[in-house]
């Protein structure tokens, strides 16, 4: 496979992956509608950071441990499921009543970055995907570390572009989506989605 063929094939496959609804999509939509664009973009930056961490582990061979070790996979899997449960239960049982205030925006922005990052770091499916997927698109004779990071950055670009479209799409409905009843409904629905993802992750097999 030539360099150009590898890039085109990976871009196509990564685009399909990005457009498939998942935990990241749910987090971005919820944050954009309730917290606003700034917090949603910070959540996206956290998601990107999580992907970069996985990319680094794959590039330097650490991610292979998750691929071959059942114990390591299960530990990370259950930690990720527990984290998602914690997020989901907080949103489900303690939904917000109003939009985040200016006085607390910095604290909340840090939290959403961390939530976005750990949502990916504690999801072994992301690691398995990177370990099994990325090497297929590295042309023979090319430096694996440089190519791994290059492919990860393509994935991050696609994810950021798609998230920007999702965040922008919420603007026309901003006033409606920030009403107390809508915010509480969004929190509870997102909490349920997170709990479903947690259950799916905990019950998943390799």
* Distance of alpha carbon 2 from the chain centroid: 30
Greater confidence (14 vs 52) lies with 52
| Whole-number average pLDDT of the chain | 78
CB 145 within 8 A of CB 59: yes
Q: What integer is the mean pLDDT of 188-203?
A: 80
- Number of domains composing the chain: 1
Can you give the pLDDT at residue 102? 36
Q: Mean per-residue pLDDT for 61-76?
A: 72
**Residue-range definition of the domain harbouring residue 9:** 3-203
Burial of 165 (0-12, 13-18, 19+ CB in 10 A): exposed
pLDDT, tens digit, for every residue of 116-125? 898 888 877 6
**CATH number where 124 lies:** 1.20.1250
Q: Is the dihedral of CA 137, 154, 59, 27 positive or negative?
A: negative
Stated pTM of the model: 0.68
Percent of the chain at pLDDT > 70 equals 83
Q: Residue 47 has what pLDDT?
A: 92
Who has greater pLDDT, 64 or 86? 86
pLDDT of 128-174, one tens digit each? Answer: 677 767 777 778 778 888 888 999 999 999 999 988 988 888 877 66
For residue 117, give Cα distances in angstroms to 46, 50, 65, 68, 154: 4, 5, 21, 24, 18
User: For the chain, how long is the longest CA-to-CA vector?
Assistant: 58
Greater confidence (102 vs 13) lies with 13
């Amino acid at each position: 496979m030539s360099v150009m063929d590898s890039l085109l094939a990976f871009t196509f496959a990564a685009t399909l992956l990005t457009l498939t609804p998942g935990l990241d999509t749910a987090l971005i939509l919820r944050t954009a509608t309730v917290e606003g664009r700034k917090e949603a973009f910070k959540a996206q930056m956290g998601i990107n950071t999580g992907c970069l961490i996985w990319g680094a582990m794959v590039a330097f061979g650490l991610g292979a441990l998750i691929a071959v070790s059942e114990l390591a996979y299960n530990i990370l899997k259950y930690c990720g499921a527990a984290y998602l449960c914690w997020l989901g239960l907080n949103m489900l049982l303690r939904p917000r009543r109003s939009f985040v205030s200016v006085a607390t925006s910095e604290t909340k922005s840090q939290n959403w970055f961390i939530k976005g990052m750990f949502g990916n770091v504690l999801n072994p499916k992301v690691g398995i995907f990177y370990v099994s997927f990325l090497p297929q698109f590295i042309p023979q004779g090319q430096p694996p570390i440089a190519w791994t990071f290059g492919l990860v950055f393509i994935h991050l670009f696609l994810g950021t572009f798609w998230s920007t479209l999702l965040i922008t799409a919420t603007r026309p409905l901003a006033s409606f989506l920030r009403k107390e009843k809508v915010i509480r409904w969004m929190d509870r629905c997102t909490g349920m989605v997170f709990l479903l993802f947690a259950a799916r992750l905990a019950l998943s097999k390799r």
